[in-house]
Structure 1
């Protein structure tokens, strides 16, 4: 097989970016639209990859709408799919309301009704981080390896 006949993974990256109102309704819509986009990209509804992405988007969007909320300001969801990785980024305008990444996750008291969402993110994502967003705010990024254009097969 000559180098010109060697199969190559496309270099393209698929990207979806959308802003949502910082409300519970906006967080639900973010999850639904993210799953719709992933399905269009060849990651079918109900697959393990789709279900994991749904949980990550739901948690990060809910956190942005609840803890990152600034009246009159939206949060943003960005999905990108490259050769082998799905990256989920959720940005909000509250830069001062942040953890310093995976090492800062604590467990909530057993009787608490919330406070375990980032533990879920930490358990599901291959990597995650909290990044500064310019000019203001923060972005929480979660990455899933083994879910990418190169893993979807021919025709996707």
Structure 2
């Protein structure tokens, strides 16, 4: 199983063809990151309409949208890393931004009639586990591990 956040260019031995990409800290960049994730899932054998690919797309979409909205620092891009641990049946998603975390991201209760505030709740439901870690030299990485097979 992949654990912790990979901060070097070394790949864990079980990490098959990890995707590493930088994207603009903008809504357009976040859409680009999500499309890249779906394309990589397809390369790993998960059709775009599969449950695994849809779950990864949703989690990447939420984490990148949060990075763009809450982690935007002018002049800095965001980063996406996607790794498949086929043995553990997990896709690890890491989204990094340049904003320092004042407190860990949490899934706050959304307002009943609110139009936003449910993204991390989706991440919490779709991921086997998720969290965040400081990024050196600056910023943070929010990560999630999404199962590639339905859990019973």
Q: TM-score range by the shorter chain?
A: 0.7 to 0.9
Structure number, greater radius of gyration: 1
Aligned to 1:47: 50
Provide the C-alpha distance between the structure 2 equivalents of 1:142 and 1:14, rounded to a whole number of angstroms.
18
**Paired residues, number:** 135
Aligned to 1:78: 81
CA shift for structure 1 position 15:
0.5
User: TM-score, structure 2 length as denominator?
Assistant: 0.82
Contact 1:126 1:145 (8 Å CA) reproduced: yes
SS at match of 2:101: coil
Farther-moved stretch of structure 1 (111-120 vs 16-25): 111-120
CA shift for structure 1 position 111:
2.4
Provide the C-alpha distance between the structure 2 equivalents of 1:93 and 1:76, rounded to a whole number of angstroms.
9
Select the residue among 77, 90, 95 that pairs with 2:95: 90
Contact 1:99 1:105 (8 Å CA) reproduced: no
CA shift for structure 1 position 146:
4.2
Structure (1 or 2) with the greater helix fraction: 1
Aligned in 2, Cα 1:12/1:57: closer, same or farther, shift over 3 Å? closer
Provide the C-alpha distance between the structure 2 equivalents of 1:64 and 1:11, rounded to a whole number of angstroms.
27
What CA RMSD, in Å, does the superposition of the two structures yield over aligned residues? 1.7
Contact 1:68 1:97 (8 Å CA) reproduced: no
In the TM superposition, structure 1's runs of 4+ consecutive aligned residues that sit over 3 Å from their partners are none
